[in-house]
Amino acid sequence: MSDTTPAAETAAPHRYTAELAAEIEGRWQDYWEEHGTFAAPNPSGELDGDPELAGRPKKFIMDMFPYPSGAGLHVGHPLGYIATDVFARFQRMTGHNVLHTLGFDAFGLPAEQYAVQTGTHPQVSTEANIVTMRRQLRRLGLGHDRRRSFATIDPEYYRWTQWIFLQIYNSWYDTEAGRARPIDELVARFAAGTRATPDGRPWAELTEAERADVLSGYRLAYAAESPVNWCPGLGTVLANEEVTADGRSERGNYPVFKANLRQWMMRITAYADRLLTDLDDLDWPEAIKLQQRNWIGRSEGARVDFPVHGAADGDYAITVFTTRQDTLFGATYMVLAPEHDLVDTITPAAWPEGTHEVWTGGHATPADAIAAYRKQAASKSDVERQAEAKDKTGVFTGAFAVNPVSGEPVPVFIADYVLMGYGTGAIMAVPAHDTRDFAFARAFELPMRCVVEPTDGRGTDPAAWDDAFASYDARIINSSGADISLDGLSVTDAKAAITTWLAERGIGAGTVNYRLRDWLFSRQRYWGEPFPIVYDEDGVPHALPDSMLPVELPDVDDYSPRTFDPDDADTSPETPLSRNAEWVHVELDLGDGPRRYRRETNTMPNWAGSCWYELRYLDPYDTEQLVSPPAEAYWMGPRDGQRAGGVDLYVGGAEHAVLHLLYARFWHKVLFDLGHISSYEPFHKLFNQGMIQAYVYRDARGIAVPAAEVEERDGAYYYAGEPVTRVLGKMGKSLKNAVTPDEICAEYGADTLRLYEMAMGPLDMSRPWDTRAVVGQYRLLQRLWRNIVDEQTGAVTVVDADPDEETLRALHKAIDGVTSDMAGLRFNTAIAKITELNNHLTRSGRPVPRAIAESLVLLIAPLAPHTAEELWTRLGRVGSLAHTPYPVADPAYVQDETVTCVVQVKGKVKARLEVPPGIADAELEALALADPAVVAAVGGAPVRKVIVRAPKLVNVVV
């Protein structure tokens, strides 16, 4: 041996070191790849395989699709991937055919922004990032079925994304049947006259453009002009789900403005009810279900018509949605959203006689006032709107409607606190019983009428109140009209009574309203799936036939988005694809001969590719269909306890609660309705892993300093001699606190990293990374290794002797505990139990019996697979242990021969007894009362009561 060999290696040449770990890990990773160890066979078709394996019960285990980050991974990223891998390996060893793979969500804004920043074409940078990430993930020993991995940017993949878009485009929602159907069936009904067209004209008399317009009102994917979220800083429009509560873009944190633009929408609102009720069939964290319920926002109420005279001609009705129809007698004014259709119709030429100053906003005519108010409202960003929410603004339209119960005239206002997108865009205002209406009424000196008797002693005169009385738990008053009285009824009863009354007169009806809006589906970006849509010379959209898919994204030099000053609302989006005339203008034969068409130049949002990827994992090479029905039925079909079907375990961050998870459910349901799949929910069980946090150190200027170079002295922190502050935050390059899996693998090996990440705490909890503590799991592997392999000679030291009883009990208790922890995703406590068993063997100081060693290796195999495979082989076994049965606990050894019984006196522990587990209550009580320590503690006082919980506890009450 040369004298450059480190001393440790000389002393123990066969110790488990980082070098040895690296050698073992690389070798087993190669082995698994060569042998296709993790290839999961489909029951039939292209990816079929070993019928024995395919005959086992299946488990489909998934991670949320990663985006291939240009910055590379830090140790926080693989937390979920390691967890699913451990679980998948455990399931393989308990007799399941396990499908676990990982693809890449590679379209979208982050990838494009990275490309723009680095000046590389997104195709090039994204593919390079995928290569890097695949390498980093392989190093962790993840047991993925690589045959099933793909990226959303692969044309063979997005061909099907486009195909699904066309399925959605060519469908409508039949509310009677409660499901989507092909649009052709609707056309047939129009043509046959069994269903009337919206304006009543026969279908045959409509022009092609008119028909297209009508159908657009039914299609589940449609282009329409509507108020959308325009984000000049990103140069694109955004879905509601991508705008934060304070009116900024979720990505980039830029201001968002409302703009009326023609955009592609998905009619997700048609599915609001099913998206809500089917949550009950899912095994998801309650918090996530709640977020989805809140986002969908079902509320029961009524529509009520308020008659109003048109300024020029005829009578109209303003239809409002309210959840407080019981307070109809208290409606003293009305408000329309500024964009409401009826505003111009009802606005008179001049202010009515004696109009209050504050109602006019100082303008000479209602039209002037409305125009000025609209202009001002439109220029406000959502951020400003939120900030000014307390100060109600608005203006009188000059018109009066009639309260249908009291017959009183009520002034009609416009105000931006009423949103066009919710309900009917119009409200009846009941200032006495609604806080917003109360604030508006105070600002505009409008009358209030108390119709719900306050229960808090404030009296019935709203003039004396500080805020509205909004409680439901009260009685109705002041609510008698010509032919209805609600007085004395409870809120609930009054709602029912007035709803019936309204319905009988045809001026209202009970109705359900949802907060959910249609999903804005187009983006003015380059890096996304092109729409399979072209427009003819009349601007009528045409779906491309399947044979023309995929519509490939053109390779262009100028892929940058057109972005603007983030605060400039007065801008409008421009699609990068529109710069490419050659691609945009095409001649196609869509069935009536070659004609000129113009391609749609918007692209799909990055959510599109992740809306259905779980299905493609099942059958990734199919060129005839998006997924073969037998494969879908086998892996995702409904079964006992999973009536909706879906993935068995889906692990990912909670931040996707209402974005990806809602969209994916929607697409899945459409595909289910159209008969392409047998499951009606994509993800049966959802688990949200926590975040790995890291300390951020900042200097006096507030600038982050490299965390690795900070020193701790006496509870304070110093960087380059200067004191710095410490807070817990996210891990990331910009905060200079990123730790990479590569560093930890190099220092200790992948198995140590896997164990450490799993041992840090419960999987669903966020916790800080602590590099110093990683060594603890390294020591566990070293001790495990030393219990089986001689560090001097490398020889296996296990013996064929029978294990002693104590060791057998320790083993079977560990097997019992670890098995249930593994099944419950409690890997931290599973590791603790394995550690205890291993420490027990270490402490015994004797060679380990073979049977114990083999069980221990199998127990830890899902967590530290490389080390386990290597020890398994050294123990003389051939091949991979990936499908070897997991140890099963022998109940005879799970329970100790004697258990420690604590004896309490007045709830304090005074004695401990070793007793057989099966001891009878009476016997245990006698034993306890006879114990000298207990006798002393009782001190002769009369015993009032003895609680016996054999065999663990006796409590003596004196």
Partner RNA sequence: GCCGGGUUGGCGGAACGGCAUACGCGGAGGCCUCAAAAGCCUUUGUCCGAGAGGGCAUGUGGGUUCGAAUCCCACACCCGGCACCA
Q: Which residues are annotated as a binding site for ATP?
A: 733
Name residues contacting RNA, limited to 296-315 (CB under 7 A): 297, 299, 301
Looking at residue 212, its amino acid is A
For residue 552, give the DSSP letter: P
CA dihedral over 429, 435, 440, 442, signed as positive or negative? positive
Q: Are 579 and 558 in contact (CB under 8 A)?
A: yes
Q: Are 265 and 223 in contact (CB under 8 A)?
A: yes
In whole angstroms, how close is the CB of 814 to RNA at the nearest point?
A: 11
Give 30-36's long-range contacts (Cβ < 8 A, gap of 24+).
31/869, 31/880, 32/143, 32/880, 32/882, 33/146, 35/879, 35/880, 36/147
Residue with tokens 């300390």: 695
Alpha-carbon gap, residue 390 to 439, rounded angstroms = 8
Residue 410 makes contact with RNA by CB under 7 A: no
Question: Which token pair is 551?
Answer: 């519509």
Among positions 105, 305, 339, 416, the unique one binding RNA when judged by CB under 7 A:
416
In whole angstroms, how close is the CB of 587 to RNA at the nearest point?
A: 45
Interacting stretch for RNA, rule CB under 7 A, among 91-99, 360-368, 654-662, 847-855? 654-662
Helix axes 750-759, 827-844, angle to 10 degrees: 120
Residue 256 makes contact with RNA by CB under 7 A: no
Alpha-carbon gap, residue 83 to 65, rounded angstroms = 15
Question: Which token pair is 806?
Answer: 């104590």
**Which residue, 350 or 512, is less far from RNA as judged by CB?**
512
Cis before residue 57, ω within 30 degrees of 0? no
In whole angstroms, how close is the CB of 392 to RNA at the nearest point?
A: 6
Name residues contacting RNA, limited to 802-841 (CB under 7 A): 826, 828-829, 831-832, 835-836, 839
Residue 842 makes contact with RNA by CB under 7 A: yes
Among positions 630, 732, 761, 847, the unique one binding RNA when judged by CB under 7 A:
761
In whole angstroms, how close is the CB of 659 to RNA at the nearest point?
A: 9
- Indicate the length of the chain as a whole number: 958
**Which residue, 143 or 462, is less far from RNA as judged by CB?**
462
Residue with tokens 């292209």: 46
In whole angstroms, how close is the CB of 870 to RNA at the nearest point?
A: 19
**Which residue, 587 or 908, is less far from RNA as judged by CB?**
908
In whole angstroms, how close is the CB of 480 to RNA at the nearest point?
A: 22
Among positions 123, 132, 149, 291, the unique one binding RNA when judged by CB under 7 A:
291
Number of H helices, E strands in the chain: 31, 31
Question: Which token pair is 141?
Answer: 């020993």
Any residues with CB less than 8 A from the CB of 132 and at least 6 apart, and which?
68, 72
Name residues contacting RNA, limited to 898-917 (CB under 7 A): 900, 902, 904, 906-909, 912
Alpha-carbon gap, residue 580 to 571, rounded angstroms = 21
Residue 716 makes contact with RNA by CB under 7 A: no
Residue 427 makes contact with RNA by CB under 7 A: yes
Question: Which token pair is 719?
Answer: 């960087």
**Which residue, 701 or 908, is less far from RNA as judged by CB?**
908
Going by C-alpha positions, the residue among 154, 139, 171, 170 that lies closest to residue 103 is 154
Any residues with CB less than 8 A from the CB of 194 and at least 6 apart, and which?
none
In whole angstroms, how close is the CB of 462 to RNA at the nearest point?
A: 17
In whole angstroms, how close is the CB of 415 to RNA at the nearest point?
A: 8
Residue 511 makes contact with RNA by CB under 7 A: no
Q: Tell me whether residue 417 is exposed, middle or buried, using C-beta atoms within 10 angstroms of its C-beta: 0 to 12, 13 to 18, 19 or more.
A: buried
CA dihedral over 500, 506, 508, 509, signed as positive or negative? positive
Name residues contacting RNA, limited to 162-221 (CB under 7 A): none
3-state secondary structure of 112: helix
Among positions 323, 345, 490, 797, the unique one binding RNA when judged by CB under 7 A:
323
Question: Which token pair is 550?
Answer: 């995929």
Residue 304, strand partner residues: 320, 508
Note the maximum CA span of the chain.
109
Residue 443 makes contact with RNA by CB under 7 A: no
Interacting stretch for RNA, rule CB under 7 A, among 399-407, 585-593, 744-752, 760-768? 760-768
In whole angstroms, how close is the CB of 148 to RNA at the nearest point?
A: 32
Alpha-carbon gap, residue 819 to 887, rounded angstroms = 9
Interacting stretch for RNA, rule CB under 7 A, among 224-232, 381-389, 497-505, 668-676? 381-389
Interacting stretch for RNA, rule CB under 7 A, among 61-69, 258-266, 397-405, 414-422? 414-422
In whole angstroms, how close is the CB of 334 to RNA at the nearest point?
A: 11
Residue 322 makes contact with RNA by CB under 7 A: yes
Residue 843 makes contact with RNA by CB under 7 A: yes
**Which residue, 544 or 937, is less far from RNA as judged by CB?**
937
Residue 1 makes contact with RNA by CB under 7 A: no
Q: Are 430 and 331 in contact (CB under 8 A)?
A: yes
Among positions 655, 711, 804, 805, the unique one binding RNA when judged by CB under 7 A:
655
Which parts are annotated binding residues? 733
Task: Give the per-residue contact string, 727-756, with RNA (x = CB under 7 A; - = no).
Answer: ------------------------------
Alpha-carbon gap, residue 112 to 126, rounded angstroms = 9
Name residues contacting RNA, limited to 3-22 (CB under 7 A): 7-8, 11, 15
Considering CB under 7 A, how many residues would be counted as binding RNA? Answer: 90
Residue 434 makes contact with RNA by CB under 7 A: yes
Burial 418-432 (b: 16+ CB within 10 A, else e): bbbebbbbbbbbbbb
In whole angstroms, how close is the CB of 708 to RNA at the nearest point?
A: 16
Question: Which token pair is 415?
Answer: 């105000």
Among positions 385, 595, 598, 874, the unique one binding RNA when judged by CB under 7 A:
385
For residue 802, give the DSSP letter: P
Among positions 48, 50, 185, 246, the unique one binding RNA when judged by CB under 7 A:
246
Name residues contacting RNA, limited to 766-795 (CB under 7 A): 766-768, 770, 772-773, 775-780, 782-783, 786
In whole angstroms, how close is the CB of 398 to RNA at the nearest point?
A: 21
Among positions 91, 575, 737, 955, the unique one binding RNA when judged by CB under 7 A:
955
In whole angstroms, how close is the CB of 296 to RNA at the nearest point?
A: 10
Residue 713 makes contact with RNA by CB under 7 A: no
Cis before residue 951, ω within 30 degrees of 0? yes
Q: Are 406 and 398 in contact (CB under 8 A)?
A: no
Residue 389 makes contact with RNA by CB under 7 A: yes
Residue 460 makes contact with RNA by CB under 7 A: no
Interacting stretch for RNA, rule CB under 7 A, among 490-498, 613-621, 649-657, 679-687? 649-657
Residue 417 makes contact with RNA by CB under 7 A: yes
Residue 337 makes contact with RNA by CB under 7 A: yes
Interacting stretch for RNA, rule CB under 7 A, among 127-135, 283-291, 556-564, 643-651? 283-291
Question: Which token pair is 544?
Answer: 């491309």
What does each C-alpha distance from 344 to 311, 398, 414, 619 come to in angstroms? 9, 11, 11, 56
Residue 418 makes contact with RNA by CB under 7 A: yes
In whole angstroms, how close is the CB of 246 to RNA at the nearest point?
A: 7
